[in-house]
Amino acid sequence: MRNHQRELRRKSIVFALIAIVTNVGGNALLARGMHQTGQPLSLLDYLHVLANPFVDAGIAMLAAWLLANLSLLSWADLSYVLPITATGYAFAAILGWAALGEHVSTSHWIGVTLITIGAALVGKTPPHTTP
């Protein structure tokens, strides 16, 4: 049983990392693409947005995030998956600041730090607690 728990934890960490990277990367690509295309006002504008390669890459990455998240939720508790993948908020703030030139306020950094601490605490718990 102990070996099963170890394997479950390892698998959960791998898929959580995939989910975090694809979520943050996909949203960053969508943001970059949307900043290039401007605000869509009509259905035709949205079709034009889909021609942007950054938007297309972002959609593909978010599709990969969905598959990783579905996999995680098939064996791990929701109360484990959501806090663990919330560490993506920290990476999103760093990426937004470093790569997209966004201003991140001090209160935002404090919130990101609290989320990261919470995710680290949850990460020490078993991924699946129900029999």
Tokens at 120, concatenated: 């680290």
Is 131 within the bounds of a domain?
A: no
Tokens at 61, concatenated: 């990455």
> pTM of the predicted model, to two decimals?
0.84
How much helix, strand and coil, in percent to the nearest 5, is found in the chain?
A: 80, 0, 20
pLDDT (tens, 9 = 90+) of the chain, 131 residues, equals 588 888 988 999 999 999 999 999 999 999 999 999 988 888 888 888 999 999 999 999 999 999 999 999 999 999 889 888 988 999 999 999 998 899 999 999 999 999 989 888 888 888 887 76
Cα angle 48-21-123, degrees, rounded to a multiple of 5: 145
Alpha carbons 39 and 42: distance in angstroms, whole number = 9
Is 86 within the bounds of a domain?
A: yes
Is 19 within the bounds of a domain?
A: yes
Is 130 within the bounds of a domain?
A: no
Residue among 11, 12, 33, 20 nearest 93 (CA):
20
User: Residue 48 corresponds to which amino acid?
Assistant: H
> For the chain, how many structural domains are there in total?
1
Is 29 within the bounds of a domain?
A: yes
Range of the domain at 110: 2-123
